[in-house]
Structure 1
Amino acid sequence: MKKYIKFFMTGALLALSIGCKKDLSLINKSAYTSDTYFTSDAALNEAVVATYAGLLHNGMWAREWYFTFDLLGYDAKNNQPLVGDLLQLAQYNYGPDQNQMGQIWSALYQIIARANVVIDRAQVWKPDPNKPIEATHQTQYIAETKFLRAYAYFQLVNLYGRVPLRTKYITLPTPADINLGRSPVADVWAFIEKDLKDAEAGLPVSYSASESYGRATQGAAVALLGKSYLYEKKWALAQTELTKLTQAPFSYSLAPVYNDLFDDPNQNNPALNPETIFQVMNQKWTDWGVGNQYYVFGGQETWGGKATHSDRAQEYGWNDWNNVLVTTTAVKAFTYPNPVTPAVNYVDPRAAFTFYGDAASGGQTQYCQQCTPGVPPIAYPYASKGYAWLKYEYYNKQSSFGGPQSGINGQVIRYADVLLMLAESYIQQGNTGAEPLALINKVRSRPSVNALLYPSLGSQANAMSILMRERQLELTGEQSRYFDLIRWGIAKQTINSERQIEDGTQPFQDKNLLFPIPLAEKNANSAVAADISGDWN
């Protein structure tokens, strides 16, 4: 089931920026207000799309998101060209004025602000009784934006802990509204759960082909709610919720070819990729003719050539900018005791789909296999390049990408992740038997991978060790490991141990368990500023 978004901005953005009504002696009767603009199905739809658009704002999926969490989770490490603020991330040498910290905060609250507008305006909108589809859309629009609002708060509470809980669209904000204090973590989680339950009830299982461009489905809400329960350590609730995705009416399954998840156009073909539950769509240099889109280096709605895309292929690409490398730690994780005969080592087949390397590591040793039909593959220059990224790259099609306009979508939630989260929910409750074993082995037995299956998981501690490795291998370079290490409570010991071996440093400090509250928020919100300890959080 595909979900990818056709981002377009229209006059809805003008209306979304209105924060108050001024008492003027002369009123422009043709100007939009929040009362006059959101009065049609089309206008509300535009506002919903504008809410999705926050996913590609600065700090999010177009560029900074993958750098931030691949570096902090130590899937990636800096190469020599990586300088400036990104290098500070790689070294855990960041503070409240770090660009990425502020950009992520700002983008997520922009999503929340827009969602609040849509939810408020859609609730007072009167659908045309002669057009039944409008009543359906009213329910859908509210559910979509509640999903997006929950997604934003999910990221905020995990990254920053206690945060201001802004739940309503306020036309005339008071100083108290502006200087809103931070809510307890438990309250934020409760709000996320409520939004996702509402979204699950209001979202369709699927959309028509003309409406399906990246919109959140019921499956996306179920997946994020189950993930929320897992992060809250509500294991039984996580098990119940995530199990839904393995049954009708849902029809998710693993993509037969692993890299169809990270390659265009196969990622958008439901026959080849039935695995994606929610993704951020990119479309290389495409002009849809419907408003300004996004350029990777910060265009947002104001400019950008009407294209949504990511710069990851160019910035991570070993034959392009080569800003980051795959860590030796990540590479070595793909070699581990054989599941059947533990006395000997086993090289996981997913290595060849994840990174370029040498034969001993299991990494891909050839590239540009399809540049010209009939021309043999080219040997990857491991001796000079070392371990480099294959995921989200184009080197199966061309020897150099050469531009910041990758059309490969960003995977936010996919079915393999759900299966592993479901397995974890069993294991965390002490069940290491048939159910979690089958889920883990299902991921390993993807047709293009066919990794050896585990005959058993053993004790709870051993089962968790296997589960942790499975998540690391399956989701390498997908901005997952940082969040996993934090929620498992092993981030400091794991990162420092790995860094000590690889580069002789131990950069992770206790304060790094949460991001610092951004300096811009401290300057703008006196209640938050007064609630910060040690100039950090």
Structure 2
Amino acid sequence: MKNQFFLLTLVGLMLGACEDFLEVSPKGELSENVFETSEDAVEGVVIGVYSMLNGQYNQITNAHRSGPSNWVYGDVVSDDAYKGSSGISDGSDVHQLEVFQADASVQAVLVKWEACYEGISRANRAINIISNFPHWSESKKNLRLAEVRVLRGHYYFELKKVFDQIAYIDETMSVADLKKVTNTAYTSDQLWDKIEADFRFGAQHLPAVQADVGRMTSVVANAYLAKSHLFQQEWAAADAALDEVIANPGQHHLMSDFEQIFLLNINENGAEFCPECIFSVQHSLDPTLPSSTPDVGATYGWDGNVGDRLSGLGGPYPRVYGFHKPSQNLVNAFKTNADGLPVIDFNRSNVSLTTPVDPRLDHTVGRPGIPFLDAGIYEESWTRGVSTYGPFAGKKQLYSPSGNQVMDIPYYTNSENYCILRFADVYLMKAEVLIEQGDLNGGRAYINLVRERAKNAPVVTAMDSSPAAPYAISTYDDSFASYEEAIWALRTERRLEFAMEGHRFFDLVRWGIAKDVMNEYLRVEKTRRPYMESAIFEKKHEYFPIPATEVDLSEGRFTQRKNY
């Protein structure tokens, strides 16, 4: 079902990519007359908006920086991950971002910007086509419009949290209007209002469950609406949207097995639906289906998980790249005390195989001496750049090394779906808004729901089936003594639960603690990783520069972020 839904795309015919998002002139486009008579053509345009979720908007290999995981923008620039690979010269633009020495010319910021605006361009065109299609009822139009508007909200949400100061373009703009667009026309609050409006429309017009796996639902819309309010510290509004999700979750719930959220067999082998994943990007390597880039798509797997193909192992298995490596700081954050709770001063000494740790560590990180999925005992020789980046490898969102879910030719694309929003995020957002509104015990209860799952889930086992490490985790059984204690527990829980999932840096920024956390992280990491010696985090690094190419093409209409 999911393959048929997502990959029978007409994008190659209808929605060619643009060199500049302001120049809305699709290449190879069908006659507009077809959209007056053909339901399939209109559905194809809607699918074209979905197809941009994997970040692959052209026929070259740059979607590893523009995919939905945000491994560059959410992890590598945070205290959770290093760039990885063989050394600093491989992916040098990502290295520059990691050590906070990038300017507006680096490729990574350009491809993220272009991918999101390509999605927005497709969404705006789809909205106009759907609105003018004479053969659908008002309810059918509203259903598809709601899907497209939630998708547009997603693309704008990505741009807002990465770049902050962005240009807003909607379906009402003419070509003449587009020539006048600036990235300073709206305040931050006004941009958030527009993003929220798309999610609110989706919440009003979408069902909680759709027959086609992966289509937008009211659950996605309300969860995203809550997250938008959370980013603005609008606690009551976020709380109300979260209550809608919790009361009407559709088919979604917290899974009992933490590891299974990230394994292909949940999403691919007979079970197309991951119940914890509220919003999941659907991927496939099926070469029999049309591709969004027909001439190379089936050959290179562009309809698969393109964005994460550089991550994970870098040794004896097909994926040879070895980027996106967990930091020592992250590994140490999983330490637990005698009560099974997180250790506050976790970074004083490094975790060893005898250190008590939260069991989610070994579902998140490949570390020497611990089994790695079904590949045997992980060895540091399985990853690249050990002398530069250390011995660890990411473990989430990876195919089984012994399986067949990856193309065994470059670019080693896999069919792993990517989960953007999951139900644990709903619970921890709920915990946060309750704590921020003074209900510390209410927040504790939702944190404990997530920790209870981790406590009861299967752990990684050694070859003799015993636990592979001294795992220790418990719930917070005592009331939080203060706001400071409660918010520390919440923020720590978010880090442990969502490690290596592309959320960490954005959390640090919205909490207003990025500069302090990152400079303390860098202070210690410089003693471990000499390549970080010159890295300093400044206020400007909370957001990324507007791509220099776009500033130049705007002929003075775009304003670069301060100090870039």
Q: TM-score range, shorter-chain basis?
A: 0.7 to 0.9
Q: Distance in 1 between matches of 2:373 and 2:342?
A: 36
Change (3 A) 1:54 1:35: same
Tell me if structure 2 keeps the 8 A contact 1:61–1:410. no
Tell me if structure 2 keeps the 8 A contact 1:420–1:439. yes
SS in 1 for 2:557: helix
Deviations 1:463-513 (A, max 9, x none): 000001100000000000010000001111111111210124442122111
Residue 329 of structure 2 corresponds to residue 347 of structure 1: no
- Give the counterpart of 2:543 among 503, 508, 514: 514
Q: State the match for 1:262 in structure 2.
A: 262
Q: Distance in 2 between matches of 1:527 and 1:147?
A: 31
- Give the counterpart of 1:52 among 9, 30, 50: 50
- Give the counterpart of 2:112 among 83, 100, 104: 104
Q: State the match for 1:65 in structure 2.
A: 70
226-235 or 400-409, larger mean C-alpha shift? 400-409
Structure 1 spans left out of the alignment, 5+ residues: 22-29, 129-133, 360-364, 372-377
Deviations 1:274-322 (A, max 9, x none): 1110011222x31242344599xxx7x7984564223635542143432
Q: State the match for 2:147 in structure 1.
A: 144
Deviations 1:135-191 (A, max 9, x none): 543211100111011111112222222222111254543574456754211110011
Residue 242 of structure 2 corresponds to residue 242 of structure 1: yes
Q: Distance in 2 between matches of 1:65 and 1:354?
A: 16
Q: How does 1:24-43 map to 2 (within 5 A)?
A: 32-34=30-32, 36-37=34-35, 39-43=37-41
Number of aligned residue pairs: give it. Answer: 500
Q: Distance in 2 between matches of 1:516 and 1:386?
A: 32
Q: State the match for 1:452 in structure 2.
A: 474
Deviations 1:30-86 (A, max 9, x none): 984445435432222111111112222255664883234220123211335142222
Residue type of the alignment partner of 1:463? A
Tell me if structure 2 keeps the 8 A contact 1:315–1:322. yes
Residue 392 of structure 2 corresponds to residue 387 of structure 1: yes
- Give the counterpart of 2:157 among 151, 154, 158: 154
Deviation at 1:443, TM superposition (A): 0.7
Residue 323 of structure 2 corresponds to residue 316 of structure 1: no
Residue 161 of structure 2 corresponds to residue 166 of structure 1: no
Deviation at 1:265, TM superposition (A): 2.3
Change (3 A) 1:198 1:507: same
SS in 2 for 1:486: helix
Q: State the match for 2:186 in structure 1.
A: 183
Tell me if structure 2 keeps the 8 A contact 1:111–1:152. yes
Deviation at 1:266, TM superposition (A): 1.0
Deviation at 1:526, TM superposition (A): 2.9
Structure 2 spans left out of the alignment, 5+ residues: 57-61, 345-354, 460-472, 528-532
Tell me if structure 2 keeps the 8 A contact 1:293–1:304. no
Residue type of the alignment partner of 2:457? S
Change (3 A) 1:410 1:293: farther
Q: Distance in 2 between matches of 1:5 and 1:14?
A: 17
Q: Distance in 2 between matches of 1:64 and 1:425?
A: 25
- Give the counterpart of 1:86 among 94, 115, 121: 94
Q: State the match for 2:465 in structure 1.
A: none
Tell me if structure 2 keeps the 8 A contact 1:12–1:43. no
Change (3 A) 1:72 1:340: closer
User: Percent same amino acid at aligned positions?
Assistant: 24
Tell me if structure 2 keeps the 8 A contact 1:282–1:308. yes
TM-score, scaled relative to structure 1 = 0.83
Q: State the match for 1:461 in structure 2.
A: 484
Q: State the match for 2:560 in structure 1.
A: 532
Q: State the match for 2:499 in structure 1.
A: 476
Tell me if structure 2 keeps the 8 A contact 1:116–1:167. yes
Q: Distance in 2 between matches of 1:110 and 1:199?
A: 21
Tell me if structure 2 keeps the 8 A contact 1:3–1:216. no
Q: Distance in 1 between matches of 2:336 and 2:155?
A: 36
Tell me if structure 1 keeps the 8 A contact 2:405–2:414. no
TM-score, scaled relative to structure 2 = 0.80
Tell me if structure 2 keeps the 8 A contact 1:64–1:100. no
Tell me if structure 2 keeps the 8 A contact 1:3–1:278. no
SS in 1 for 2:488: helix
Q: State the match for 2:347 in structure 1.
A: none
SS in 1 for 2:70: helix
- Give the counterpart of 1:438 among 440, 445, 464: 445
Deviation at 1:406, TM superposition (A): 1.4
- Give the counterpart of 2:516 among 467, 478, 493: 493
Change (3 A) 1:473 1:62: same
Q: Cα RMSD (Å) of the superposition? A: 3.3
Change (3 A) 1:338 1:117: farther
Deviation at 1:392, TM superposition (A): 1.9
Q: Distance in 2 between matches of 1:274 and 1:40?
A: 34
Q: Distance in 1 between matches of 2:298 and 2:176?
A: 26
Q: Distance in 2 between matches of 1:342 and 1:36?
A: 59
Change (3 A) 1:525 1:20: closer
Q: State the match for 1:374 in structure 2.
A: none
SS in 2 for 1:237: helix
Change (3 A) 1:11 1:293: closer
